[in-house]
Amino acid sequence: MKLLRHGPRANPKPGLMDAQGQVRDLSGLIGDITPATLSPSALAALASVDVNTLPVVPLGEYQVPFTGMTKFIAIGLNYADHAAESNLPIPAEPIVFQKTVESAVGCNHAVVLPKGSKKTDWEVELGVVIGTRARYVDEADALKHVAGYCTINDVSEREYQIERGGTWDKGKGCDTFGPIGPWLVTADEVGDPQNLDMWLEVNGHRYQNGNTKTMIFTVAKIVSYVSQFMTLNPGDVITTGTPPGVGMGVKPAPVFLKPGDVMRLGIQKLGEQQQTVYAWDPALIDA
């Protein structure tokens, strides 16, 4: 299933995208797509419904396709060729940092540059959405805890991340720096998460082409690893790293985002996003 939330940000409606690309309303079955909706039993109940009995409704603005996230975890340098373009060694263990829950926005929401931004960058990434609590999970069982997958743009302010000391988090957690969606695609529909093509363009120029098969650490390894350090709850998200082609790595000179730029990105089976970049404007953050 392709689960989604759409309409006004303050009052989104739950739905699913059917095989014909129509939005089917789930409001008669569930009030919202919450952590409880992501449990195996709840997803199985939704999957048993005859889609043709659900009303077709106009698509409103995409919102984050689920609610109730308590953690937005990210993995750095998880593609060997991206580590090379960053002039950094391949990590021996996953590099774990956090984006803020406030950075999560719908897939086509404005990306708003923070005050003083000089080096904001793009990163197409596979997002993993937890469906059942994961704590000290073995790698062999890790995927059983995954409800589904989604496309994420891990927008990053490189000066804040790298040049201003401390952890990466301050360059990763700015408002609007985590577009998610358009859908949460359930794990059964995705199949193997380690063979998905992914791409990203800025102003029509293709910068990133990759495939999740070149991850250093697999989704199963990442879920297991992170669960050794913190409890992963239903609705939590792990974004799993990016292939090469980020702006920081462009030769002979880096390319960074500026107001008016348009990003388009997508992952096989998981849908596409598009964001326009704006200068700092708090009204756009809460729109």
pLDDT digits (tens, 9 = 90+) for 14-65: 999 999 999 999 999 999 999 999 999 999 999 999 999 999 999 999 999 9
**Is residue 33 in a domain?**
yes
Give the model's confidence band at 140: pLDDT under 50 very low, under 70 low, under 90 confident, else very high: very high
Of the three residues 62, 83, 106, the one that is the final residue of a domain is 62
pLDDT of residue 254: 96
Question: Do both 47 and 180 map to the same domain?
Answer: no
The string of pLDDT tens digits covering residues 226-269 is 999 999 999 999 999 999 999 999 999 999 999 999 999 999 99
Domain CATH for 191: 3.90.850.10
Kindly state whether residues 44 and 130 are assigned to the same domain.
no
Tell me, yes or no, whether 21 and 87 share the same domain. no
Do 23 and 80 lie in one domain? The reply is no
For residue 130, the model assigns a pLDDT of 98
pLDDT of residue 198: 98
Domain identity same for 191 and 49: no
Range of the domain at 168: 72-285
Coil, helix or strand for 178?
Answer: strand
Q: What percent of the chain has pLDDT over 90?
A: 91
Helix (H) or strand (E) holding 11: none
Residue 23 maps to a domain: yes
Q: In the prediction, which pLDDT does 96 show?
A: 96
Answer yes or no: do 250 and 222 share one domain: yes
Residue 191 is assigned to a structural domain of this protein: yes
Same domain as 258, residue 172: yes
> Residue 83: pLDDT band by 50, 70, 90 thresholds?
confident
Give pLDDT, residue 46.
97
Kindly state whether residues 15 and 105 are assigned to the same domain. Answer: no
Check whether residue 101 and residue 20 sit in a common domain.
no
| The domain boundary residue, chosen from 62, 82, 100 | 62
Residue 208 has pLDDT above 80, yes or no: yes
In a domain, 152, yes or no: yes
253 and 118 within one domain:
yes
What is the number of structural domains in the chain? 2
pLDDT, average across residues 103-108: 98
CA–CA distance, 71 with 33 (Å, rounded to integer): 17
What is the pLDDT at residue 170?
87
pLDDT at 168: 83
190 lies in the same domain as 148: yes
- 34: its two tokens: 């919450």
pLDDT at 5 over 90: yes
Give me the pLDDT at residue 89, please: 86
Q: Which of 11, 41, 62 is the last residue of a domain?
A: 62
> How many CB atoms sit inside 10 A of residue 176's CB?
25
Residue 67 lies in a domain: no
Q: Is residue 31 part of a domain?
A: yes
Q: Are residues 20 and 158 in the same domain?
A: no
DSSP string covering 28-94: TT-SS--GGGGSHHHHHHHHTS-GGGSPEE----EE-SS-----EEEEES-BHHHHHHTT-PPPSS-
The pLDDT value recorded for residue 169 is 86
**Residue 36 resides in a domain:** yes
Phi, psi of 282 (to 5 degrees): -60, -25
Q: What is the pLDDT of residue 73?
A: 98
Residue 130, in any domain of the structure: yes
